[in-house]
């Protein structure tokens, strides 16, 4: 199958979360008519080249062949290519991500660690990739609802677009959560945000055959979303919070990357088949207010 669309890129390492990444990447590529490109990175040790047992080539080829076969089982008609790249996994995947529709990687057991290591592959890819990044878990993929956190920023509006499309593609429910803090947000400001959120949601419900479950909750955003994410099949957040720091993730994204049991997508752009963002309009949307 030939296509001019950008590829979905998946990192291959042989770990359980990497295997889920290949499966998830194959599904995303098939949903959007994109080819799938599987990448395995290795570090060559020049001082050991005489030892056949440390030659990473055959082992790497075996990994990507197995990954390609797994992708074919998920999406038999999918166009799949494989590549071995010399160097670190971070460097290799970041290079490929510049032309990718999405990069999909395993979490490297991040959600089993006490703290989030800055040098972990998943942490660096999510923070530095120019495209959207999905981080998968070792557990089997779930058909639970899509959860998206919104805060009124441009990044969260992009995440909202992505989440609506993801829920429609999966024919599952969509949960939209806006979290506010009464200590830092006045009642008037809160009411304006709820009204703006209603308009944003209504504009997208015109285009997608689903009814969104909109929840406005009081608390600390990362803590609240971490709790709601326990039953989600996919968690979607913007790449930045309301304050942007170059090369860093917002606190919500960091918390969900570390603690969400479901795959997490950090959104930096829409998939090729996603329609342009609609203009918001006044409309009546039921919003659940919970303290």
279 and 165 in one domain?
yes
**Which of 81, 112, 136 lies at the terminal end of a domain, its last residue?**
136
3-state secondary structure of 82: strand
192 and 170 in one domain?
yes
**Which of 107, 136, 165 lies at the terminal end of a domain, its last residue?**
136
194 and 65 in one domain?
no
In this predicted structure, what is the pLDDT of residue 141? 79
154 and 76 in one domain?
no
271 and 150 in one domain?
yes
Is 127 among the domain residues? yes
- With cut-offs at 50, 70 and 90, classify the pLDDT of residue 7: very high
Integer CA distances (angstroms), 147 to 74, 125, 171, 199, 264, in order:
24, 22, 14, 19, 10
48 and 151 in one domain?
no
Which of 34-38, 107-111, 205-209 is predicted least confidently? Answer: 107-111
In this predicted structure, what is the pLDDT of residue 6? 94
Q: What global pTM score does this model have?
A: 0.85
Total domain count, the chain: 2
30 and 126 in one domain?
yes
Rounded to whole angstroms, the Cα distance separating 249 from 257 reads: 10
- With cut-offs at 50, 70 and 90, classify the pLDDT of residue 32: very high
pLDDT exceeds cutoff 70 at 285: no
70 and 96 in one domain?
yes
Strands (DSSP E) along 174-268, which ranges?
174-180, 212-218, 234-238, 264-267
94 and 43 in one domain?
yes
Residue 201 sits in a domain whose CATH number is: 3.40.50.620
40 and 92 in one domain?
yes
Is 2 among the domain residues? no
159 and 132 in one domain?
no
In this predicted structure, what is the pLDDT of residue 288? 41
In this predicted structure, what is the pLDDT of residue 192? 83
- Residue that wins the pLDDT comparison between 176 and 186: 176
Integer CA distances (angstroms), 1 to 19, 76, 97, 238, in order:
24, 11, 22, 32
Residue 43 belongs to what domain range? 8-136
- Residue that wins the pLDDT comparison between 249 and 259: 259
Say if residues 78 and 36 touch (Cβ distance below 8 Å): yes
End-to-end, the C-alpha distance of the chain in Å comes to: 51
Say if residues 260 and 229 touch (Cβ distance below 8 Å): yes
User: What does the pLDDT look like over 252-282, one tens digit per residue?
Assistant: 888 898 889 999 999 998 888 775 454 443 3
Mean pLDDT (the chain) is 83
Rounded to whole angstroms, the Cα distance separating 6 from 32 reads: 10
Q: Name the nearest CA neighbour of 147 among 131, 135, 157, 160.
A: 160
Residue 50's CB: how many other CB atoms inside 10 A? 7
For the chain, helix (H) and strand (E) counts, in that order, are 8, 11
**Which of 77, 112, 136 lies at the terminal end of a domain, its last residue?**
136
Say if residues 126 and 93 touch (Cβ distance below 8 Å): no
pLDDT exceeds cutoff 70 at 1: no
């Amino acid at each position: 199958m030939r296509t001019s669309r950008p590829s979905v890129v998946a990192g291959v390492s042989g770990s359980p979360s990497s295997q889920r990444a290949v499966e998830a990447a194959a599904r995303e590529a098939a949903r959007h008519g994109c080819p799938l490109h599987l990448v395995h990175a290795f570090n060559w040790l020049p001082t050991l080249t005489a030892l056949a047992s440390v030659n990473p080539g055959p082992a790497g080829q075996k990994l990507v062949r197995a990954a390609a076969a797994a992708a074919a089982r998920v999406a038999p008609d999918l166009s799949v290519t494989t590549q071995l790249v010399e160097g670190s996994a971070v460097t290799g995947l970041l290079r490929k991500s510049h032309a990718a529709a999405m990069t999909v990687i395993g979490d490297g057991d991040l959600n089993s660690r006490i703290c989030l290591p800055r040098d972990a592959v998943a942490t660096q890819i999510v923070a530095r990739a120019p495209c959207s990044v999905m981080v998968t878990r070792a557990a089997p993929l779930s058909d639970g609802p899509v959860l998206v956190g919104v805060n009124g920023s441009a990044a969260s509006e992009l995440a909202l677009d992505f989440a609506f499309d993801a829920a429609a593609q999966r024919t599952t429910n969509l949960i939209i959560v806006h979290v506010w803090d009464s200590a830092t947000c006045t009642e008037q400001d809160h009411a304006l945000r709820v009204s703006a959120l209603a308009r944003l949601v209504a504009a997208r419900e015109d285009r997608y055959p689903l009814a969104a479950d909109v929840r406005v909750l009081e608390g600390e955003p990362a803590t609240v979303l971490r709790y709601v994410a326990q039953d989600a099949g996919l968690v979607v957040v913007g790449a930045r919070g309301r304050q942007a720091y170059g090369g860093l993730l917002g606190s919500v994204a960091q918390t969900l990357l570390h603690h969400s049991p479901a795959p997490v997508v950090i959104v930096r752009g829409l998939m090729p088949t996603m329609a342009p963002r609609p203009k918001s309009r006044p409309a009546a949307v039921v919003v659940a207010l919970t303290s």
